[in-house]
Structure 1
Amino acid sequence: MPSVNPDSSDKDAEPFVEVDPTGRYGRYNELLGSGAVKKVYRAFDQEEGIEVAWNQVKLRNFCDNPAMIERLYSEVRLLRTLMNKNIISLHNVWSDADHNTLNFITEVCTSGNLRDYRKKHRHVSMKALKKWSKQILKGLNYLHTHEPCVIHRDLNCSNVFVNGNIGQVKIGDLGMAAIVGKNHSAHSILGTPEFMAPELYDEDYTEMVDIYSFGMCVLEMVTLEIPYSECDNIAKIYKKVSSGVRPAALSKIKDQEVKDFIERCLAQPRARPSAAELLNDPFFDGIDDDENDI
């Protein structure tokens, strides 16, 4: 698909370093984020005239790990089926045999991830934090009531993204998500240790692990501390989590209502409320849905 370009010699035009097979999406050389598995670049959708995110995975890094490659393809297949305004949406996907890469285009959030956004804006009202929390819960409720049920398994503030101009929050990075049928549990250890529910380590868990992680996200949003930052290695975190010892940051919260809400999320699996139940919690009384929340 050719783009409209009246003057190809325009020196102000930012060059694409790569274009997708259809010619619709162009990738810039600006890195938005980088993880163990993929790199995310700023890109442009020439058909819609909007900026997007170009996610690129170098498959040669996993040539000895077919399970990882299958997981990456699973993420893409999963993303394509999800349509919810609090979940990052997928626009296109393709593999590049010449460069041995898997590429997929997702929507881009203007303000980056919630962890960095919260650090940048240190003075935020409790009302705003509740609005963000409510939107995360709406995304989780969508995943958990999806048929089949989807467990994120790696929910943390770096996997939640923000459109700061409208206060919109979206869950992303579903690369560790598990799809399970009703009344089934999942069986593999994955996630970010500080945010992992104790039953995740026992390899027998349900979507309630996401509620625990959500509680830790609220704790980080309120305190600006990553949970268990007092621990200097994963073994110490595991010992505290499995023993039911709460993060030190929790004791720093003076607002009892906030502390009680987080504790409900961190309760034993059977006692943890669902995302739907939490959305009706008195904690959110007076927190109206945003104008964009339809």
Structure 2
Amino acid sequence: LPVQLGDELPAVSTEIQRAVESERNLCRLRHPNILRFLHIAQPEPATVVVFMELLDGRSLERFIDNKPLDEPKIRDFSEQICRALLYLHSRQPPVIHRDINCSNIIVCADNTRIKLIGFGLSIKLESVSHISASTQSPKGTLNFIAPELLGAVESDSVQYSRESDIWAFGCSVFEMVSGLRPFANVGSFIEMTQLIDRKGAPALRTAELRDFYSRCTAKDCRRRRPAVELLEHEFLTDRKLKKGFLSSLFGARK
């Protein structure tokens, strides 16, 4: 922790305890699709050591490698991500990840299981206006930030919520389908903000997946569906393989 020689410990003890408690909260998470935080130790007042599960695999972004995934893989990974979000968002108080994106999702070595990582920005949402959930500038990965966090709608401060996580999940679905991050060709933060404000999320051409995707990426956050409802959507519940679903559009790999 950033404690300098000569600092009065009482002056920084509150910040230290806040950091320790933040990591301790992560140690309480138990879900098969979430990285395990195993133990926290504080050998010195300004030193916190966190022991985490060792994962053998690669990020979903590297797994995609600029090439669309096939439908069964998109369906399977989407369901697993949804289940992880349902677990986080159902905690009391809810845990908001704040940085869902394909580089913070690990595809394990068996190429079938995924794990959500990257909890450096996660928060416990005590209420919508909780001080740690509201900041003057958005945090996270730019291409995956919800419009209400970009200032595309009027707000006094940035309001993180379950719905902002759901938007980012939808953007991750977009990358699995297209092989590219949303707004990959947009050159600046201002241009992206203006584009989202005018048009919302980038469009998908696939009818069945478009409905699922639209429920994640409604520009009005009140219209986005929670993870529990997304898990009941026909895209995730219909296990029949539909030939040519993505391959005809993107040449999706097997």
Deviation of 1:75 (Å): 4.2
1:163 is aligned with what amino acid? C
* CA pair 256-69 structure 1, distance change in 2 beyond 3 A: farther
Report whether the alignment pairs 1:103 with 2:103. Answer: no
TM-score, length of structure 2 as denominator length: 0.76
Query: For residue 212 of structure 2, what is the aligned residue in structure 1?
Result: 261
Which of 164, 181, 195 aligns to 2:144? It is 195
2:221 is aligned with what amino acid? P
Q: Is contact 2:231-2:237 (8 Å) kept?
A: no
Larger fraction in strand: 1
Deviation of 1:77 (Å): 1.8
Larger fraction in helix: 2
Q: Structure 1, residues 228-281: CA drift from partner, whole Å, max 9, x if none?
A: 11111222122222334433xx3xx44211222212211121111100000000
> How many residues get paired?
223
Q: Structure 1, residues 27-57: CA drift from partner, whole Å, max 9, x if none?
A: xxxxxxxxxxxxxxxxxxxxxxxxxxxxxxx
2:58 is aligned with what amino acid? G
* SS of equivalent to 2:165: helix
Greater alpha carbon shift after TM alignment, 233-242 vs 189-198 = 233-242
Larger relative contact order, structure 1 or 2 (CA cutoff 8 Å, min sep 6):
2
Query: For residue 88 of structure 2, what is the aligned residue in structure 1?
Result: 143
Structure with greater Cα Rg: 1
Aligned 1:1-294 pairs, distance under 5 A: 59-60=1-2, 73-95=20-42, 97=44, 102-119=48-65, 122=67, 124-165=69-110, 167-181=112-126, 186-188=133-135, 189-201=138-150, 202=155, 203-247=158-202, 250=203, 253-267=204-218, 268-287=220-239
TM-score, length of structure 1 as denominator length: 0.67
Q: Structure 1, residues 165-195: CA drift from partner, whole Å, max 9, x if none?
A: 1611111111111212366663123221211
Percent of pairs identical after alignment?
29
Greater alpha carbon shift after TM alignment, 220-229 vs 106-115 = 106-115
Alpha-carbon distance in 2 for matches of 1:160, 1:61: 32
Deviation of 1:62 (Å): 9.8
Gaps of 5+ in 2: 241-254
Deviation of 1:136 (Å): 0.3
Alpha-carbon distance in 2 for matches of 1:223, 1:269: 23
Gaps of 5+ in 1: 1-58, 289-294
Deviation of 1:144 (Å): 0.5
* CA pair 236-138 structure 1, distance change in 2 beyond 3 A: same
* CA pair 282-159 structure 1, distance change in 2 beyond 3 A: same
* CA pair 127-151 structure 1, distance change in 2 beyond 3 A: same
Query: For residue 26 of structure 1, what is the aligned residue in structure 2?
Result: none
Q: Is contact 1:157-1:217 (8 Å) kept?
A: yes
Q: Is contact 1:72-1:175 (8 Å) kept?
A: no
